[in-house]
Amino acid sequence: SYIKLDSSKLDKFVHENELSEMQALVNAADDELRNGTGAGNEYRDWLDLPTNYDQDEFARIQAAADKIRKDSKYLITIGIGGSYLGGQMAIEVLHSNFFTRNSDETQVIFAGNSLSSSYLSELLDLVGNDDFSINVISKSGTTTEPAIAFRVFKEKLVQKYGEKEANGRIYVTTDAKRGALKREADVNGWESFVILDGVGGRYSVLSPVGLLPIAVSGGNIDDLMHGARDAQNDLTETDVTKNDAYKYAALRNILYRKGYTTEILENYEPNLRMFSEWWKQLAGESEGKDQKGIYPSSANFTTDLHSLGQYIQEGLRNLFETVIKLDTPNEDVIVPSADKDLDGLGYLEGKSMDWVNTKAYEGVVLAHTDGGVPVMTVHMPDQKEYSLGYMIYFFEIAIAISGYLNGINPFNQPGVEAYKTNMFGLLGKPGFEEIGDELNKRL
C-alpha cells in the first residue's frame, strides 16, 4: 500500500509464526467489521465515507468555505472530542508551523474543547472587532463544553452583526434530525451539515465535521478524500502479510498480550503533534473498555528525547513505540559552513537538516530496541492532503480491527458518561438533583 509499515526491527520481540498464528483471528475481526457481525455494527458508515458521500453536501461545504474565507478573518470552530480533533489535526499537518501567524488567510481557531474561562475570554479578545463566523460541531447537540462556547460566541456575533446577518455566519454540523442544535438551526435557518448516525465522533474527520474547517484553512478536501478513497480500496486484503493496516493491528495485539500495554505514537515533526492527539482519541476511546486495552500515549521527537527519552530507554518495560516517519518534509535546511569550527559542527556542514533528523530516528530505533522496547514505523510519504487522507483511513481501519481482535466493541464509549453524570449533578442540572446531593456529601 501507499503507506508502509516497517516492522523489521521487531524480530527480537515477535517471531514470524506468531503473526501467521494471528491470521484466523484477523479473519474473524475482518468479518465482524466488513460484514457487520461484530458489536457496534450500526457505527460502520465511516468505512464508506471516502467513496459514498453526499456530493451536494460536499459542494455546499466548498461554497461555505469560500464564503467564510472571503468574509471572515476567523472561523471559530466549536466542538470537543471527535468533533474537533480531526479538523485541528488535519489543519496542523497540512500547514506551516507558523500558519496562524500569517494574517492574510482566514484563521480557524478551535473553542469549546475545554471549560477554561481564560481560554474563551482570551479568544473573545483576540477576535475583537474583526469579522468572524462560527462552525459549531456536535453530533448529540447537547455537549456542555461546546454548548457554553457557542452561547458566548453567538452573543458576540449577534451584537456585532445583528440577528439577521449573524444567522448567515453560523454553520452547524450535527445530527440530521435530533438534538438541541438541530432544533436551533431549523428555527434560525442556519446552514447545516450532517453527521450520519453510523459515523461516531472519532471516525468523523472525513465527514463535514473535519471537511469544513479543513477547507476554510485552505486545505484541498478533494485530494484528502482521494487519498482516503485509495486507502479504502487498497486495504481490503485480509492476509496480514499483504495489508499493512491489518498487520499493524495484529502486531500491536501480539505485543499487548506479552505485556507491552502502552503504545507511544511518535513523530519527528512538530506539526504532527496533533496527529497523535487525534490517534490517541481514536485508539483510547475505541479500545479502552471492559478493563482492558492498550494505553495510547504520544511523544514528540527529538524534543521529548530530552525528557521522556530516559524513561523509554530504561524505565518499566511495558512500552512499545509506533513512529510516524515523514519521508519528505515540506522544507529542508542545509547546515551552513563557518570559517572557524568553534561549535564543532563542521562534520555536518552541507548536510541537510532532514538527513540529520533521519539519522536521529535511526539511532533512536536501534537504541530503544536494544533497551527492550519494540518499535514499528509507519512511513508517511509527505504532508500533503492525499497522504493525510490515506493515513487517516489506514489508522481508522487498523484501530477498528484491533478492537475486534481484543474482543471489545470498538464503536461505543460508555465510559465517557460517568464524569458527565457527576458534573451535571454538581451543576444542579434538572433531573440530576439526587446524584448532586449524594456527591456534595462526599466532597
The contact set with ligand PA5 (CB under 6 A) reads 80-83, 138-140, 143, 146, 200-202, 285, 413
In the structure grid, which three cell numbers stand for residue 340, read together? 572557524
Q: CA nearest 91: which of 212, 228, 226, 208?
A: 212
Question: Based on CB atoms, which residue is closest to ligand PA5, 163 or 417?
Answer: 417
Shorter beta-carbon distance to ligand PA5: residue 92 or 285: 285
User: Smallest Cα–Cα separation from 47: which of 251, 233, 240, 222?
Assistant: 233
**Separation of alpha carbons 34 and 48, rounded Å:** 11
Strand-by-strand arrangement of the 170-174 sheet: 107-111, 74-78, 132-138, 170-174, 191-194
Residue 146 or 210 with smaller CB distance to ligand PA5: 146
| Active-site choice (73, 156, 160, 420) | 420
Closest to ligand PA5 by CB, 140 vs 313, is: 140
Q: Which of 109, 151, 144 is nearest to 128 (CA)?
A: 109
Smallest gap from Cβ 306 to ligand PA5, in A, equals: 32
Q: In the beta sheet, which residues pair with residue 108?
A: 75
Residue 83: beta bridge partners? none
Instruction: Quote the cell numbers at residue 139.
Output: 453530533
CB of 403 vs ligand PA5, minimal distance in Å? 13
Minimum CB separation of residue 423 from ligand PA5 in Å reads 13
Least distance CB 282 / ligand PA5 (angstroms):
8
3-class secondary structure, 261: coil
420 tagged catalytic: yes
Cβ distance to ligand PA5 smaller for residue 269 or 285: 285
- C-alpha 229/C-alpha 235 separation (Å) is 10
d(CA 321, CA 315): 14
Query: Which DSSP state fits 106?
Result: P
C-alpha cell at 288: 479502552
Which candidate in 191, 285, 287, 321 is catalytic? 285
Q: Is 285 a catalytic residue?
A: yes
What is the C-alpha to C-alpha distance for residues 156 and 63, in angstroms, rounded to an integer?
24
What is the length of the chain?
Answer: 443
Angle between helical axes of 23-34 and 385-405 (0-180°, round to 10): 110
- Closest separation in Å from C-beta 281 to ligand PA5: 6
CB of 416 to ligand PA5, least distance (A): 6
φ, ψ for residue 300, nearest 5 deg: -115, 115
Q: Among residues 374 and 410, whose Cβ is nearest to ligand PA5?
A: 410
Q: Which residues are catalytic?
A: 285, 420
